[in-house]
Amino acid sequence: MITKYGCKVRKDSVKLVETLITASPEFMNNLSEKEKREYFERATEFMKQEVGEDRIISAVVHMDEATPHMHLVFCPINKDGKLSAKSILGNQKSLSEWQTKFYECMHERWKELERRKSAQETKRKHLPTWLFKMAENLDCLYNQQLKEKIIDNEFETGEKLRQMQRQVDKYEKYIEKVPKDVIAEIERKDLELQREKHNRDSWEVEL
């Protein structure tokens, strides 16, 4: 694709951008299978309008984790035919505006969806993918324990899980102390594992 548009590629050029599309576990898990497919197909149509249909490389939905989600990958070639992730993604403010636009598109179909306050308003720091997944898995395990009652002392185990969740929450305060190159390497390996993982609970949105 880059060759097709004759884009100039620098050593530090971003050739691919991966986006994660989902919603809250409560919302996603209350949708029927048909509605889940509709949700991700609508999200894909939104991305086609935003970045260009021919720029999208893949859109794969994962149903095997706590919350159904889609990994959509696109090549950041802008409307002028230049390879420029910065001109498409912009800064934190423009990213927040993009998220709001996505929310409005999805809210038009599902009125129960809510837009949480953006990082621009809350000033919160974004967690790395690996840390977010750790917290999500703990939450999933906690809910499973309570639902299935697979242990004798439900209260004691539930309290232990809550303590684990509080510990994960504390990581947010210390995450800035971790060298950026270490975080980048962890996220790179995590991305490689995600791409290598192919199973029957994943399906690709037709582009």
**pLDDT given at position 169:** 64
Specify the CATH number of the domain 1-123: 3.30.930.30
Q: Assess whether pLDDT exceeds 70 at residue 83.
A: yes
pLDDT surpassing 70 at residue 207: no
CA distances from 111 to 23, 104, 117, 145, 173 (A): 13, 10, 17, 31, 34
pLDDT in tens, 107-119: 999 999 988 765 5
Domain ranges of the chain: 1-123, 125-197
Q: What average pLDDT is seen over the chain? A: 78
Residues with Cβ < 8 Å from 82, sequence gap 6 or more?
Answer: 7, 8
Burial 126-165 (b: 16+ CB within 10 A, else e): ebbbebeebbeebbeebeebeeeeeeeeeeebeeebeebb
pTM of the model: 0.62
pLDDT at position 40 over 90: yes
Which structure tokens are listed for 95?
Answer: 């990213």
Is residue 130 within 8 A of residue 63, CB to CB? The reply is no
Number of helices (H), then strands (E), in the chain: 9, 4
Q: pLDDT tier at 198 (50, 70, 90 boundaries)?
A: very low
